[in-house]
Every structure is written in structure tokens, then in C-alpha cells.
């Protein structure tokens, strides 16, 4: 019955023009750049203040606790008052700490912004760091840490990080349960004083909001004390032996696998090509790893490959939770798929699919003001702007099978890569 037209795929466009949102960069009086992105239709604003105060600087619990306690209580607003005023205005105030940076963020309906400017000011400038809050925080986090260690994927991520960089490396050191007992509030206060300064700091304001709100944001940012934010850590990696680290987790129902090695970060000119190679290997549902290990063999619910950019040394990593008795076969598959990409030219049909897919993926970064702000932040971290996507577009459109093979040869080497496997006895 149904018509013959069904047999033919509708025509698809592959060259989308990306309407990049306009970004205005205004410097606050202390020199901190504030990036303003007017986007979206709702009167909502999102503010991120990004400090170079990540966990790499020192014992990783201190930067994390500093960021968490900043949004817990301030000098005028104790813990209860602060959470109350945030909730009453339907807003979110939160911090996120990664290895390089920390962001203090607020999402708020524009008309309630006035009610929250003072709490926001104090969060950044006058956090309370109260002893009672601190002790509650420490006990709670310690317990959450114990819980997290029950999951094979948490165990694997921690072990893999230490294995890749070395246990003492700023990116490789991991907090342990007993570290919570030694956590010291004075060190947290010092950390705030020393690292929440203008050096390396920037802010992003996105959404729809009046200029008057913006002026208030500028005051908060402009009064961040001047200071440089550099650390003297040694970032030379000291990878641990052996290359394959097998860890036992009693009663695990699945095995978690990590395979990875160092590569280049977003700021490197070859990154776009590396990103294409990574997408083919394990960066989307149609990737080689998903097709073979999930869709042909059914050994996993999901397996993928990621590029993790860090300021001092980025890496790629394959990760997945797989059937307990198929670990070695899956490792062999990962090796095989990497090796195939090195020597066998990619078929034209797959190449076309990956080009189209990745062009669409670029647009995903612009679906709404929150997505735009997040996209923009990641670029800013590496001194990039939206031209990054124009370069990526060009790399996608001009990629050749030879270029792909040589990129995989250069960056993905299974034998020299580090492997972590967490499984039952």
C-alpha cells in the first residue's frame, strides 16, 4: 500500500550556516573580562564566574571544599538564610570544581536578580567558612565518598587518573577517606584568599536581562581583588606500571574498563582532526566501538571514547561497563578497532555519515542560552572563541581517509596506552 517515495531518503542539507550568538566582552575595573551573550526568549539569566582555583593546585579536597563552602554561607547570610533566599527567589546557586578551574554560578529569573545580588556578592567576597558548617560538610562528604567507592566506575576513574599521571601528580592525586579527617578550615580560608583573585578569572553572563542587572554584575566582578593565580606545580606525568592495572571489587556484576593515553588539548591546531578520529572510534552511537561491542555482540549497554582537555596535558580514554567474562575480548576489540583505523581507509559512506553527523553535532551546542553559555565557557578556558567551530567545520569538510589514518597512528596506540579493569574476583 504505502507509496514508493518511502524508499528514497529525503534530501539532507549538510552545510548549515551557524548563527553564532553575538558576544560582547567588557572588562571590569580590575581587568577581569566579562563575556555577555544575549540569547534565548525567556527572561532568564545565567552567570558563571570562573576562577583558576581547581583541584590541581593542592590537596584536592581543599579547592573542592572551598568552592562548596562558598555557596553554603556568607557573613550576612548563614547557611539557612542563604539557602532560603535562593530558594525563595526560584534561583540556583552552585559551584563546580574540576581539575583546572572552579565556577561559581547562578541561574535566576531576571526579575528576581535584584534580590540576589547581595548574597551573590557575599558568596564570592565574604564567604563565612563557619566551623559548624565545615564539620557538617566534612562528615557528610566523607560518607558520600565511602558510598561512591562502591561503584566500579568510580573506582576505575580514580585508578586510571593516578595510573596515567602518577599518584603524586596534580592531576593524578586522589583524595582518600582519611583525608577528610585532616581537612583544615584555616587552609580553606587561605585558599580562598590566595586563589579567588583576578588572575585567570573570567565571567560569562547569558540569557535575556536588562542593562541594570549587568551593571550590578560588573560591580561584583570588579571588586575581586587583583592578584596573579599561578602555581609552581610540576606537571610532568609519571605514569605508573604496569600498563594494565586489574583491580578487584567483590561482587561486581559488571566489569568497568578504561583505556587511554595522553594527547593534545582543544587549543592545538590538530585537535579538530583528532576529534573526528575519536568520534569515529567511540564518540557517538554509530561509532565503531558501539557497533561492534554493543550492537553486534551485546557485551555492554554503552561504551565510548572521549577526549579530555586539561590545561597541562590532555588525554583520550575509552570507557565502558561490560560483561564480566568478556573483558579480554572487549580489550582485544578495542585494540582491533584502533588498529583498523590506522591502516584501513574509511569507506566513503561512513565518512559521509560522520561528516554529516558532526556538522549537526556542532549545532547542538547552540540549543538555548544555557547550552551556549556552557559551550562558550569551554572555549574560553582554552583561549578560544566561536571561530573554533569554523575550524572544526573546515576540518570536517576537508578530512581525507589518509589524514584520518595518520592521525590515529599518531595519537591512538593501544600497546602504549594505560588500561584499568575493575572486576570481581
Order of strands, edge to edge, in the sheet holding 418-423?
Answer: 244-248, 418-423, 255-263, 314-322, 300-308
**Which residue, 105 or 201, has its beta carbon nearer to other proteins?**
105
What is the nearest approach in angstroms of other proteins to the Cβ of residue 171?
27
Binding mask 167-206 for other proteins (x = CB under 8 A): ----------------------------------------
Should residue 368 be labelled a site residue for other proteins when binding is judged by CB under 8 A? yes
Among residues 181, 393, 183, 378, the alpha carbon closest in space to that of 267 is found at: 378
Residues 50-79 within binding reach of other proteins (CB under 8 A): 79
Residue 245, SS3 per DSSP: strand
Q: Does 410 bind other proteins (CB under 8 A)?
A: no
Rg (CA), the chain: 24
Q: Which is nearer to other proteins, 107 or 188 (CB)?
A: 107
State how far the Cα of 396 lies from the Cα of 278, in Å rounded to an integer.
Answer: 13
Nearer to other proteins, 164 or 322 (CB): 322
Write down the residue that cell numbers 549537526 correspond to: 360
Q: Which is nearer to other proteins, 74 or 254 (CB)?
A: 254
Q: State the number of binding residues for other proteins (CB under 8 A).
A: 80
* Closer CB to other proteins, 110 or 190, in the complex: 110
- Residue from 24, 75, 76, 84 binding other proteins (CB under 8 A): 84
- DSSP assignment of 71-118 equals TT-BSSS-HHHHHHHHHHTT-EEEEEE-SS-EEEEEEEEGGGHHHHHH
- 91-130 binders of other proteins (CB under 8 A): 91, 107-109, 112
Tell me the three cell numbers of residue 13: 542539507
How far is it, in rounded angstroms, from Cα 356 to Cα 13?
9
317 lies in the binding site for other proteins (CB under 8 A): no
One of 235, 357, 382, 386 touching other proteins (CB under 8 A) = 357
Quick one: which of 28, 44, 203, 259 contacts other proteins (CB under 8 A)? 44
Task: From 225-233, 239-247, 306-314, 364-372, give the range in contact with other proteins by CB under 8 A.
Answer: 364-372
Quick one: which of 285, 344, 378, 391 contacts other proteins (CB under 8 A)? 285
Contacts for 377-380: CB closer than 8 Å, 24+ residues apart: 377/48, 377/50, 377/103, 377/204, 378/266, 378/309, 379/266, 380/35, 380/50, 380/202, 380/204
Residues in contact with other proteins, shown as a per-residue x/- string from 132 to 171 under the rule CB under 8 A: ----x--xx--xx-xx-xxxx-------------------
Q: Is the peptide bond before 62 cis (omega within 30 degrees of 0)?
A: no
User: Hey, which bits of 208-299 come out as E strands?
Assistant: 244-248, 255-263
Binding to other proteins, residues 240-259 (CB under 8 A): 250-254
Amino acid at each position: 500500500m504505502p507509496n514508493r517515495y518511502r524508499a528514497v531518503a529525503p534530501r539532507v542539507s549538510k552545510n548549515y550556516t551557524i548563527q553564532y550568538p553575538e558576544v560582547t566582552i567588557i572588562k571590569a575595573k580590575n581587568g577581569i573580562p566579562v563575556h555577555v551573550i544575549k540569547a534565548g526568549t525567556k527572561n532568564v539569566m545565567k552567570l558563571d564566574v570562573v576562577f583558576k582555583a581547581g583541584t590541581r593546585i593542592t590537596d584536592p579536597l581543599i579547592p573542592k571544599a572551598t568552592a562548596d563552602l562558598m555557596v553554603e554561607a556568607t557573613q550576612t547570610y548563614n547557611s539557612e538564610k542563604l539557602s532560603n533566599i535562593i530558594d525563595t527567589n526560584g534561583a540556583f546557586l552552585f559551584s563546580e570544581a574540576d581539575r583546572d578551574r572552579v565556577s561559581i554560578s547562578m541561574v535566576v529569573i531576571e526579575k528576581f536578580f535584584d534580590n540576589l545580588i547581595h548574597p551573590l556578592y557575599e558568596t564570592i567576597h565574604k564567604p563565612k567558612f563557619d566551623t559548624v558548617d565545615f564539620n557538617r560538610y566534612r562528615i557528610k562528604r566523607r560518607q558520600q565518598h565511602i558510598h561512591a567507592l562502591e561503584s566500579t566506575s568510580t573506582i576505575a576513574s580514580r585508578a586510571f587518573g593516578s595510573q596515567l599521571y602518577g599518584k603524586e601528580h596534580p592531576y593524578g592525586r586522589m583524595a582518600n577517606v582519611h583525608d577528610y579527617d585532616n581537612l583544615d578550615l584555616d587552609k580553606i580560608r587561605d585558599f580562598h584568599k590566595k586563589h579567588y583573585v583576578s588572575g585567570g578569572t573570567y565571567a560569562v553572563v547569558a540569557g535575556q536581562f536588562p542593562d541594570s542587572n549587568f551593571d550590578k554584575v560588573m560591580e561584583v566582578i570588579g571588586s575581586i581583588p587583583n592578584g596573579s593565580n599561578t602555581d609552581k606545580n610540576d606537571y610532568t606525568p609519571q605514569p605508573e606500571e604496569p600498563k594494565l592495572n586489574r583491580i578487584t571489587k567483590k561482587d561486581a556484576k559488571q566489569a568497568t574498563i578504561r583505556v587511554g593515553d595522553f594527547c593534545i588539548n582543544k587549543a592545538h591546531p590538530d585537535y579538530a582532526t583528532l576529534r573526528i578520529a575519536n568520534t569515529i572510534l567511540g564518540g557517538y552511537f554509530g561509532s565503531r566501538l558501539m557497533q561492534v561491542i554493543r550492537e553486534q555482540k551485546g557485551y555492554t549497554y554503552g561504551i565510548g571514547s572521549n577526549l579530555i582537555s586539561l590545561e597541562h596535558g590532555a588525554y583520550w580514554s575509552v570507557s565502558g561497563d561490560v560483561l564480566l567474562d568478556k573483558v579480554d575480548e572487549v580489550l582485544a576489540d578495542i585494540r582491533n578497532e584502533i588498529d583498523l583505523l590506522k591502516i584501513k581507509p574509511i569507506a566513503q559512506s561512513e565518512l559521509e555519515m560522520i561528516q554529516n553527523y558532526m556538522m549537526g553535532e556542532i549545532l547542538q551546542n547552540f540549543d538555548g542560552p544555557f547550552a551556549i553559555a556552557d559551550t562558550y565557557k569551554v572555549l574560553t578556558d582554552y583561549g578560544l572563541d566561536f571561530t573554533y567551530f569554523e575550524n572544526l567545520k573546515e576540518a570536517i569538510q576537508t578530512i581525507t581517509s589518509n589524514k584520518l589514518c595518520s592521525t590515529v597512528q599518531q595519537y591512538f596506540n593501544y600497546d602504549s596506552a594505560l588500561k584499568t579493569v575493575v572486576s570481581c574476583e
